[in-house]
């Protein structure tokens, strides 16, 4: 589905009027100088509080040899965080008018994610999702209010899109009640069904009239959240290494983990930002796959930090798991990150088989590093760094060849 929506001149830029409450009309997809706002950055930082809570609880679950249950709860909770963040991000890209009411409703969403974050330990430890559910409902009801404002200010197909969002969001909240009301074994099925339902809401709402999200703005917003999550990963790993050193002083074992963790995070940043993805976000068909796929990018990036904490706890004797399991807690999410970044956008900018194979091969080698004992994290970091070096080398060689070809053509 390609985008055919063309906003009117009056709606192609931020409203000129500075009244406290203004019509929530669409902004233009070609609007120049569209960048993230201070409110959006504040929104992201507050959401990372919930990401940090989910990561910390994943550490406890894996360290206590409850990896399967911990990963399931992590996936469920992270979906709630990511989906609320993503829905707001795309809505803001199309409709942010920065009036007082818009700001207040956005702050309500922030309050909702803080409630959700407070309920994450209870969800992991007791399978009690009440506060997670309440926080999610607050965020989603606030999102429905924003769509109602958009529906009131528009007409025709654009109004239909907004009302479909309202209906879809509200119906899904009823379905999520199953996490609170149904017994434990049935919750997994509730989760799977509701994830599919949530993912279908934007597909249905925008099938006739896409919203006027801004490609540069969306690419920047996703990039900024990736940076924040990677920063949280470094912070979590730093705290883990410091606490481990304070209690055990096992620097010979901790330094390889710290060095390998830094190499992994630095490489993850480089690999993600090496390509200008905004040029490929031309239609909903492309953007939906790219946007949805970031669930795996964000969750795996955060899980790397949790894995580094697990590895430190295993080294100092706090985790009741094997070295192999602790190593896998780092290598598996790292491999998933590499593969997902390659699949979503890096592969579109690779030329030739050698270029295309760099990240998939690196992901496979990172998995193999799992079996290297206490050197697994450092080895995974070296492999990730080598993937970056290889990519840079291939790009430089291709650029030089293209330059030589142009020079030869000019000479002829």
What whole-number distance in Å separates Cα of residue 284 and Cα of residue 63?
41
The pair of three-digit structure tokens given for residue 257, joined into one six-digit string: 């983990």
**Whole-number Cα distances in Å, 79 to 189, 200, 332, 334, 377:** 15, 14, 19, 19, 27
Mean pLDDT over 360-389 rounds to: 95
CA 174 to chain centre: 25
- Which residue is it, tokens 């963790």? 261
Take residue 297 and report the two structure tokens written for it.
């990018």
- Classify 25 in phi/psi space as left (phi over 0), alpha (psi -120 to 50) or beta: beta
Q: What is the mean pLDDT of the chain?
A: 87
Nearest CA-CA partner of 316 in 264, 371, 254: 254
Predicted TM-score (pTM) of this structure: 0.88
Contact 308, 378 (CB under 8 A): no
pLDDT tens digit sequence for 299-339: 999 999 999 999 988 888 888 899 999 999 999 999 999 99
Least confident of 28-37, 124-133, 215-224, 239-248: 239-248
Torsion angle defined by CA atoms of residues 106, 107, 109 and 110, in that order, rounded to the nearest 10 degrees: 130
Q: What is the largest CA-CA distance in the chain?
A: 77
Q: Classify domain 227-411 by CATH architecture.
A: Up-down Bundle (1.20)
Cα distance between residue 115 and residue 139, in whole Å: 10
The token pair at 352 is 């030739």
Residue spans in the chain of domains classed CATH 1.20.1410: 227-411
Phi, psi (degrees; rounded to nearest 5) at 200 = -80, -20
Query: Which tokens hold the place of 332?
Result: 């598996």
Here the tokens at position 125 are: 């430890």
pLDDT at 20: 83
Spatial separation of the C-alpha atoms in residues 191 and 185, rounded to whole Å:
11
Q: Is the pLDDT of residue 130 over 60?
A: yes
d(CA 328, CA 307): 8
* Contact (Cβ atoms closer than 8 angstroms) between residue 78 and residue 302: yes
- The better pLDDT of the pair 119, 181 is held by 119
């Amino acid at each position: 589905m390609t985008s055919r929506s063309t906003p009117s001149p009056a709606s192609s830029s931020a409203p000129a009027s500075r009244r406290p409450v203004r019509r929530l009309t669409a902004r233009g997809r070609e609007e120049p100088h569209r960048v993230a706002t201070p409110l959006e950055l504040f929104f992201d930082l507050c959401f990372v509080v919930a990401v940090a809570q989910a990561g910390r609880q994943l550490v406890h679950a894996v360290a206590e040899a409850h990896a399967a249950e911990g990963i399931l709860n992590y996936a469920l909770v992270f979906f709630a965080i990511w989906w609320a963040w993503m829905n707001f991000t795309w809505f803001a890209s199309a409709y942010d008018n920065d009036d007082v009411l818009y700001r207040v409703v956005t702050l309500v969403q922030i309050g909702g994610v803080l409630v959700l974050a407070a309920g994450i330990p209870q969800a992991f430890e007791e399978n009690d999702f009440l506060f997670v559910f309440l926080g999610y409902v607050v965020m989603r009801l606030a999102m429905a209010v924003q769509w109602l404002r958009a529906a009131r200010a528009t007409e025709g197909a654009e109004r239909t899109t907004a009302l479909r969002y309202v209906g879809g969001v509200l119906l899904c909240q009823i379905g999520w009640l199953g996490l609170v009301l149904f017994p434990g074994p049935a919750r997994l099925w509730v989760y799977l069904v509701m994830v599919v339902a949530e993912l279908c809401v934007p597909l249905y709402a925008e099938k006739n009239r896409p919203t006027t999200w801004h490609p540069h703005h969306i690419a920047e917003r996703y990039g900024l959240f990736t940076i924040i999550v990677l920063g949280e990963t470094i912070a979590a790993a730093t705290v883990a290494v410091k606490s481990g050193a304070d209690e055990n002083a096992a620097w010979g074992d901790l330094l390889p983990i710290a060095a390998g963790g830094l190499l992994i995070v630095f490489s993850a940043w480089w690999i993600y930002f090496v390509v200008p993805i905004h040029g490929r976000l031309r239609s909903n068909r492309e953007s939906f796959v790219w946007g949805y796929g970031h669930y795996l990018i964000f969750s795996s990036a955060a899980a790397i930090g949790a894995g580094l904490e697990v590895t430190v706890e295993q080294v100092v004797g706090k985790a009741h798991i094997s070295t192999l399991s602790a190593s896998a807690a780092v290598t598996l999410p790292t491999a998933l990150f590499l593969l997902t970044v390659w699949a979503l956008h890096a592969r579109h900018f690779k030329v030739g088989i050698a270029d295309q194979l760099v990240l998939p091969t690196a992901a496979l080698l990172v998995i193999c590093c799992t079996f290297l004992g206490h050197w697994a994290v450092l080895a995974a970091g070296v492999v990730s760094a080598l993937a970056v070096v290889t990519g840079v080398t291939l790009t430089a060689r291709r650029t030089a060849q293209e330059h030589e070809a142009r020079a030869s053509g000019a000479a002829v």
